[in-house]
Chains A and B, each alone.
Chain A
Amino acid sequence: MNWESVIGLEVHAELATQSKIFCGCSTAFGQEPNTQVCPVCAGMPGVLPRLNRTAVEYAVRVGLALNCTITRYSKFDRKNYFYPDLPKAYQVSQLYAPICRDGHLAVEVDGTTKIIGIREIHMEEDAGKLIHDAVSDNTLMDFSRCGVPLIEIVTQPDFHSAAEVRTFLMQLREILLYLGVCDCKMQEGSLRADINISVRPEGGELGVRTEMKNLNSFKAIGRAIEYETRRQIQLLESGKQVVQETRRWDDDAGVSYGMRSKESAPEYRYFPEPDLLPIYIDDQWLQSIVENLPEMAEAKRARYMRCWGISALEAATLTSHVYVAQLFEEVAALSRNPMEAAHLVAGEIMRLMNQTDTLPEDLAVDAKKLATLITLVSSAKINRNAYKEAVEAVFIDGVDPEEYIAQRGLRMVSDADAIAEAVAAVITEQRQAVADYRAGQHKALGFLIGQAMRKLQGKGNPALVRKAMLEALE
């Protein structure tokens, strides 16, 4: 029998707002535990939430990019459960009137376009983190993450393979990055996905589904889908049933195990959050969100080509990742030479990224340093070879470009006497080539210039060397 897997996703994205969703605390990652906490996010008795409008705007941005209907009267609900990382013992979320509904995203898999339905996007607050302290054998609580705004993007069960899921997630990630609403770092947990998965005979009735949690990388998601599909098929083929349950993926072991069955699923006792008014997004607010949408890849490509005459190919490369586009735009602005910046980022930088396996999100190269090099090469202070060498040193070691060029003596020789001396020496030494040139063999000129450059250790200003050589030959 041919089996088909049916997969839906719940993608959690932490919104990159400066402050938390219901208080003024910072959302910065990686600070000391419990340093970004106030009475509100710590759930002290008597506190009340106040909604961060930017979080709403970010959620709406995602809804617009995913072709959703924006809910004009959206509401919050409380999801009640006890867990030490949840100081109020309820999470403010949206069950009955989520902020966005009924969207879709077209993804390209193996050359065919697939439409993935988006059931809804809802807003909620993140919980804190539990840290196990091995020394004292205690579990410690860090509430700094409590109240960081999250959106949960729930897809329809429209996927049938790990490859489709992976492509969708990559594309979704690019959209979130371009929208500037999430930094999408799966390792830090700012982008997380749960998978609902079931199998059925191809085209048959939907099977019993399981939900998989704790997926911390694209690779883990792919592996978990393949594992779970296999597990369910094996169960069914051996005449057993799939149990509806939540499972936890252990990426190190490459296996998942059951966490809780449907029967033991928690009773969340959802009800409307009385401490917050409904969010009303009127035409004016919606309009301003639309107007402030960041420029997406397609628009960037068009602008690069239109305004700066950058080729279609280079523009596509530059916008393949938002961080690459950002780097390019910074270098272009700092160097005031967009064309040269485009050649540099689309060419040498992309080559170096591939060579060093650097992911776009890990791009740490200093745009200012690259801009300095562009200025140096375009004002003929260094030649192309020196430029390329210095770019690599900046990319890999983060060297200071000016210092590096000085130390390596890469600055071009434009001194007329030094050039004249080198040219004179070549003319004396290379009698045959000089004779050839004078006899009309103009290609000998290249050889002679090359010899002069050699005497200048490759640093001669090519234009000046050429000019001096021609004059000497006349």
Chain B
Amino acid sequence: MLNMTALALAKAIRAKKLSVTEAVAEYIKQIEQTNPHLNTFLTVSKDTALARAQTIQAQIAAGEITSPLAGVPIALKDNISTLGIRTTCAAKMLENYVPVYNATVVDRLEQAGMIVIGKLNMDEFAMGGSSETGAYGTVRNPWDTERVAGGSSGGSAAAVAAGEVPLALGSDTGGSIRQPCAFCGVTGIKPTYGAVSRYGLVAYASSLDQVGSIGRTIDDCAAVLSLIAGPDDNDSTCVISKTFTFDTPLLERLAGFRIGLPRNYFAGGINADVAQAVLAAAKELAAAGAQVEEFDMPLMDYMVPAYYIIACAEASSNLSRYDGLKYGYRSPAAETLAEVYRLSRSEGFGLEVKRRIMLGSFVLSSGYYDAYYKKALQTRTLIKQAYDRLFERFDMILSPVAPTTAYKLGENVDDPLKMYMGDIYTVSVNLAGLPAVALPCGFDRQNLPIGFQLIGAAFSESKLVSAARTYQHRTSFHLQQPGGAWV
């Protein structure tokens, strides 16, 4: 059962070959076995999930829920607000924080009969690319537990890869869905900014954050996206009413698909195995009938700096609410108001979060705003315009997700700049608010997964999913499963 896709599982449940309770229990059993090795889950909501399984089973039997994923368990990155279920953002600051409301995406999943079985580990407040910065330990890569799972949605990608859950939600601010998907050999969608409500997603960088799905196949991910996408009155930036049509038939041929390949992404710091596998993916799509054409991606040197300035600026403001007064960690040593602020934040936040808060505060302060923040906004506009022009020529852009495969635990933690450069291929997508899918496309010589991404124009998810479906139909990288002592 743990090998089934989510859609197949739902189908088996509808066909009464399997009960919802059986499915939930089976996954929880797997989590209980493997989580001690992988540290993917921060909270397993076993009792509520099992109780809900019975309710959903009854509703499916009564024909009250007909969604294609009814009865399927899903786990959520722990920065997605769940009513009554602890939501920590992998931060000591929110160790005991239990939200009083559900994120819009959670309500939508539950309305569709999906069952939240737990909350997933991540980088603290989604800041990081290795799921090592959280306060509750490092997520381990199921393909090699001495390596990182990527981040910040490392728990989400690793849990799906390890068969702990068929589907997960992650969030992507600068690559946080796509990069762990690539590191763990699973599939993910980072939707267009504004396609999915952010209400209840604990903010890291508001103008970049987007919730998306992680699964074994593009069809599973697309099925979740159709449930969670759509306008939400509670999110002013999620207003455009676009319905995605993911249920189109499989395209045997990608005739008429124009795919751009950024030549300069394959020069310089990229690992040779990664470059080769990604170029092979381009060849595969070309073999399927797509027209693949090389081009030079402009502004490459400015993407990472612009991203970190904007993301950190917004983060410094978004994280100010954790002041030790209302909820979350308060330093026991604090006596005055100033101490409550200073000590609670000094003790409650981890190093990477503090680094980004300080960087963000700096670029917004008077005298530096124009030199940094304003320049970054201008750069962002240029990047958007560059993509606009590219999408006049191409339907999508094919690119690596990360320059390397999963690296060793601890390898980059002391070198933030090196870590930040790992985001080179992903951040411009967020700066421009574009959708992208990440798909497995091979393995390096150490048998670590490699991923590539297809980036589309805003709200072109349907087209990206079509191309991804054809790719996965022709390849089997996404069907490979990790093995190891933890299994």
Contact = CB atoms under 8 A, between A and B. Distances in A.
B317 A271 contact: yes
Nearest to B206: A274
Contact residues on B (Cβ < 8 Å of other chain), bracket: 35 or more
Contacts of B100: 39, 44
Given A45-B81, A269-B365, A274 B314 contact: yes
Contacts of B302: none
A106 interface: no
A1 B365 CA distance: 42
A46 B203 contact: yes
A46 B202 contact: yes
A136 B81 CA distance: 34
Task: Find the residue from A43, A270, A274 having the highest chain B CB count within 10 A.
Answer: A274
B321 interface: yes
B236 A275 contact: yes
A75 interface: no
Contacts of A45: 81, 87, 89, 94, 97, 99, 202-203, 321
Interface string A68-97: 000000000010101010011110000000
B477 interface: no
Contacts of A267: 365-366
A269 B206 contact: no
B326 interface: yes
Interface stretch (A48-56, A195-203, A225-233, A336-344): A48-56
Interface in B47-98: 79-81, 87, 89, 94, 97
A270 B103 CA distance: 28
A345 B359 CA distance: 64
Contacts of A271: 313-314, 317, 364, 369, 373
Contact of B207 (A51, A141, A269, A274): A274
A48 B199 contact: yes
A271 B377 CA distance: 11
Contact of B236 (A44, A50, A87): A50
Task: Find the residue from A46, A82, A267 having the highest chain B CB count within 10 A.
Answer: A46
A109 interface: no
B325 interface: yes
A300 B316 CA distance: 52
B328 to A, nearest CB: 8
Given A44-B101, A82-B320, A50 B233 contact: yes
Given A89-B321, A274-B314, A39 B101 contact: yes
Given A49-B236, A271-B364, A271-B369, A80 B89 contact: no
B14 interface: no
Contact of B320 (A44, A80, A270, A276): A80
Interface of A: 39, 42-51, 78, 80, 82, 84, 87-90, 141, 267, 269-271, 274-277
19 contacts: A44-B100, A45-B81, A45-B94, A45-B97, A46-B81, A48-B199, A50-B235, A50-B236, A84-B337, A88-B320, A89-B320, A89-B323, A141-B326, A269-B317, A274-B205, A274-B206, A274-B207, A274-B237, A277-B237
Given A46-B200, A87-B326, 9 more contacts: A44-B101, A45-B81, A46-B103, A50-B236, A89-B320, A90-B317, A269-B365, A271-B373, A277-B237
